Amino acid sequence: MDKITTNDPRSKSADLVADNLARLAQLFPETVKEGKVDKDALLDLIGDTDDTPDERFCLNWAGKAQARREAQKQSLGTLRPCPAESVDWDTTQNVYIEGDNLEVLKLLQKSYHAQVKMIYIDPPYNTGKDFVYKDDYNDNIKNYLKLTGQDRSLGTNTESDGRYHSNWLNMMYPRLKLARNLLRDDGVIFISIDDHEVAQLRKLCDEIFGEDNFVAQIIWERAFAPVNLMKHFSTSHDYALCYSKNIEEAVCNGIRRTDTANERYQNPDNDIRGVWSSSDISVGPAVQANIYPITTPSGRVVEPPAGRSWSLSKKAFFERLQDNRIWFGSDGDGVPRIKRFLSDLRKEGITPMTIWKYVDVGHSQEATKALKELFDGQNLLDYPKPIAYIKRMLELYTASDSLILDFFSGSATTAHAVMQLNAEDEGRRKYIMVQLPEPCPEGSEAATAGYKNICEIGKERIRRAGRKVLSLPVVSPQLPIDFSENRELTTDHYSLDTGFRVYKLDSSNINAWDDTPENLEPSLDNALDNIKQGRSEEDVLYEILIKYGLPLTEQVTKHDIAGHAVYEVGAGTLIVCLSDRGINIDTAEGIGELWESVRPEGEGVKCNVVFRDSGFDSDTDKTNVLLTLKQHGILNVASI
């Protein structure tokens, strides 16, 4: 039985450097020698030119190398579960994480690699008034706890700072780099921004996502009235940059059509496909191959008008005739026309334009008013985004069961938009919200109302929004949704998920070994029981779950086996026993029987078992447990 120490890979987030080296070695074996990259060999393979670094086209800034390295570092932190602040903990598939998004993104790498369909973020615009979180490359967790706990202050990034743009880019680079890893191949990211940093952000995204994966630079009309005090122009728009993980894989759904009441769409022949309109099938100039006679149901023979031909080939015409898509009029004697079903048009959607007007997706004042109304007249946060604005993005690039991530979640508009859209189309989209607990300024309306930080506002907004969405009648879907892979999604038993699990970023639950002379005695004490004081069994359990790469919404079933609490996760993929004494052969036998009862069908399915090292009374017990589990086919056993 191997023990998981603080230096063990299983105690850390994903090792991105090792993963990159492995991929490079797989593609180009000659470039990796003894675990190191042969730079000359790599440059030869890609046909590198003799340009000097100063002559190459690139975005560079002070601190870029450190920011790049920070994106590769592993996290030693954890996410502590908070069921008391959650809603529907046992059933929900949604997650709200309170913490520094850089460390959180690292912790999500194992569990959510290539799982996210859409990311939306609304980062600080770097106006000089909003903060730019300054990472500590030595210990981000300690820095985070200090700034959000003891210090209670976060600095702003003013233009008087000599590294005004660099500070902002150093914050954004590692976060976007890690975010890209979480996107599916057909996934996209939307990033809200204004004129302060849009030029830098566009170049940064070109580097991280690739120029070829640029999708659009959307202009959002966020204001409906000018500010007459402005010296030159009253800025009435912001931007949303959209990039894909792989432009060849990403598919835009289009904007939903809502013209169901259009009088052009009728159903005179009671077609089971619903209402339709018809259009002429003759076109000009004539295509000789498409000139042929057509016999109507009444027996009359018709041909295309002079100088024109049918728009369909003879084969295509008869295919549509067999499919009841050709209309000859109610008497069967008219010139043939092709039926256009409204349901088909809805499926196709409307190709979106890059200018989004406030009449379609809302404006800032409207969003502020809506949030204020949700909080009974309290004005808690400035400049939230409209729900319709985020919902438009969701409609364009998500499916009914997609996972959405927002790691600058603010007032949690994205979570609200996901629930609203799910209510409209009976979807089961899931979200992960991440937000730094930025303290509410003293004397602000939010602080006066009792909210200590933005996270408290965001969580309360989701609770209230969930209740509001549930109180409304479920809107029938305007777009037919393909539930072929999830047939249970029917109106009869559809259940809208308005819950969320709360997790909070913290240092690891496991004491690290400190070999400095002044800390030797405390370290020896920690070695006897290496779980930190004040940490619960659930804290340790979820740290193990995260480090083993299981989703944060995975169901955990608690069993009593030989007097011990045993947690079974993911149909036995992970079984954990954290008792601090008395683990023996009876415990192992019970775990083996549990695995045999819950194991899924199929070859290659393995069970990982983790014990608390202090739970064994002797080395003999530990050996007997290993042998017993081996008899049940369980070979992956570790202790903490």
Per-residue model confidence as pLDDT tens digits over 326-348: 999 989 999 999 998 877 765 56
**What separation in angstroms does the CA of 7 have from each of 202, 376, 394?**
38, 50, 41
User: What's the DSSP call for residue 141?
Assistant: H
Query: What are the backbone dihedrals phi and psi of residue 625, each rounded to the nearest 5 degrees, phi first?
Result: -65, -45
HEC secondary structure over 175-216: HHHHHHHHEEEEEEEEEEECCCCHHHHHHHHHHHHCHHHEEE
Same domain, 94 and 229: yes
d(CA 164, CA 157): 6
Does residue 67 lie within any of the structural domains?
A: no
Of the listed ranges 218-232, 268-282, 416-430, the one predicted with least confidence? 218-232
The widest CA-to-CA distance across the chain, in whole angstroms, is 104
In a domain, 72, yes or no: no
- Cβ–Cβ under 8 Å, residues 594 and 566: yes
Looking at 457, 483, 503, the residue that finishes a domain is 503
Q: Can you tell me the mean pLDDT for 124-132?
A: 73
Secondary-structure breakdown of the chain: helix, strand, coil percentages, each rounded to the nearest 5: 35, 20, 45
324 and 375 assigned to the same domain: no
Shared domain for 487 and 375, answered yes or no, is: yes
Structure tokens at 237: 């728009």
Residues 173 and 149 in one domain: yes
- Please check the confidence at residue 526 and state whether its pLDDT lies above 60: no
Q: Is the pLDDT of residue 274 over 90?
A: no
Residues with Cβ within 8 Å of 215's Cβ and at least 6 positions away in sequence, in order, are: 188, 242, 243, 244, 247, 250
What are 585-594's pLDDT values in tens digits? 999 999 999 9
Looking at residue 293, the DSSP 8-state letter turns out to be -
**In this structure, are 448 and 394 located in the same domain?**
yes
Q: Sign of the CA dihedral 608, 612, 613, 616?
A: negative
Q: How far is CA 545 from CA 291, 367, 540, 585, 607, in A?
A: 68, 38, 9, 24, 13
Query: Quick check: is 20 in a domain?
Result: yes
Same domain, residue pair 246 and 305: no
Question: Residue 578: what pLDDT?
Answer: 96
Q: Which CATH number fits the domain that encloses residue 239?
A: 3.40.50.150
Quick count: other Cβ atoms within 10 Å of Cβ 12? 19
pLDDT tens readout for residues 199-236: 999 999 999 999 999 999 999 999 887 777 778 898 89
The yes-or-no verdict on residue 520 having pLDDT over 50 is no
Q: Is the pLDDT of residue 513 over 60?
A: no
Asked if residue 263 is part of any domain, the answer here is no
**Of 484, 503, 522, which residue is a domain's last?**
503
Domain co-membership, 357 together with 416: yes
* pLDDT value at residue 126: 86
Query: What is residue 53's predicted lDDT score, i.e. its pLDDT?
Result: 58
34 and 115 assigned to the same domain: no
Task: Kindly list the distances between the CA atom of residue 259 and the CA atoms of 3, 157, 268, 345, in Å, as whole numbers in the listed order.
Answer: 63, 48, 18, 10
Same domain, 370 and 496: yes
In a domain, 523, yes or no: no
**Percent of the chain clearing pLDDT 90 (strictly above):** 59
Most confident residue range from 55-59, 81-85, 167-171, 276-280: 81-85
Mean pLDDT of 295-312: 91
Q: What is the pLDDT of residues 379-406, one digit of tens each?
A: 998 889 999 999 999 999 999 999 999 9
The pLDDT value given to residue 455? 96
Q: What is the pLDDT of residue 328?
A: 93
- How far is the C-alpha of 288 from the C-alpha of 177, rounded, in Å? 56
* 526 falls within a domain: no
- Whole-number Å distance between alpha carbons of 8 and 530: 15
Give the pLDDT confidence score for residue 597 in this predicted structure: 94
Q: Name the domain boundary from 327, 342, 357.
A: 342
**Residue 550 clears pLDDT 60, i.e. is over it:** yes
For residues 128 and 233, membership in a common domain is answered with yes
Place of tokens 């952000």: 201
Total domains, the chain: 4
- 183 and 313 in a single domain? The answer is no
Is 228 found in the same domain as 109?
yes
Which pLDDT value is given to residue 52?
Answer: 56
What does the pLDDT read at residue 495?
A: 83
Six-digit token pair at 283? 């076109």
Residue 287: the pLDDT is 86
How much is the mean pLDDT over the chain?
86
Lowest mean pLDDT of 27-31, 213-217, 383-387, 428-432, name the range.
27-31
Strand partners, 214: 243
Residue 522 in tokens: 């405390």
Among candidates 221, 176, 219, which has minimal Cα distance to 200? 176
* DSSP H or E stretch at residue 418: helix 413-425
pLDDT reported for residue 262: 57
Q: Where on the phi/psi map is residue 457: left (φ > 0), alpha (ψ -120 to 50), or beta?
A: alpha
Three-class SS of 317-346: HHHHHHCCCEECCCCCCCCCEEEEEHHHHH
Residue 636 has pLDDT above 50, yes or no: yes
- Alpha carbon of residue 498 to chain centroid: 17
Q: What pLDDT sits at residue 275? A: 87
pLDDT at 622 over 80: yes
Cα–Cα distances in angstroms (integers) from residue 197 to residues 70, 72, 504, 587, in the given order: 22, 25, 30, 59
Rounded to a whole number of angstroms, the distance between the first and last alpha carbons of the chain is 10
In 3D, which of 538, 529, 493, 525 has the Cα closest to residue 510?
Answer: 529
Average pLDDT of 452-481?
A: 78
- Reported confidence tier of residue 479, pLDDT bands at 50, 70, 90: very low
Strands (E) located in 199-280:
214-221, 237-244, 276-280
Is 417 a residue whose pLDDT tops 50? yes
Residue 507: strand pairing partners: 77
**Do the domain assignments include residue 308?**
yes
Distance, C-alpha 63 to centroid of its chain: 28
Beta strands 282-283 and 116-121, pairing class: unpaired
Taking only the tens place, the pLDDT of each residue in 233-253 is 988 999 999 999 999 999 999
In a domain, 510, yes or no: no
DSSP letter at 472 equals S
The HSE-up count of residue 447 (CA atoms within 13 Å, CB side) is 7
| Backbone angle region of 353, left / alpha / beta, with phi > 0 → left and psi within -120 to 50 → alpha | beta
Instruction: Tell me how crowded residue 494 is: count the other CB atoms within 10 A of its CB.
Output: 14
Residue type at 465 in one-letter notation: A
Q: Tokens 């994903």 identify what position?
A: 14
Q: What is the pLDDT of residue 587?
A: 97
pLDDT value of residue 17: 80
Q: Give the CA distances from residue 51 to residues 37, 54, 56, 224, 337, in Å, rounded to whole numbers and listed in that order.
A: 21, 8, 7, 49, 63
Q: Report pLDDT for 283.
A: 85
Number of DSSP helices (H) and strands (E) in the chain, helices first? 20, 25
Instruction: Kindly tell me if the per-residue pLDDT of 441 is higher than 70.
Output: yes
Q: Which domain does 434 fall in, by range? A: 77-256+349-503
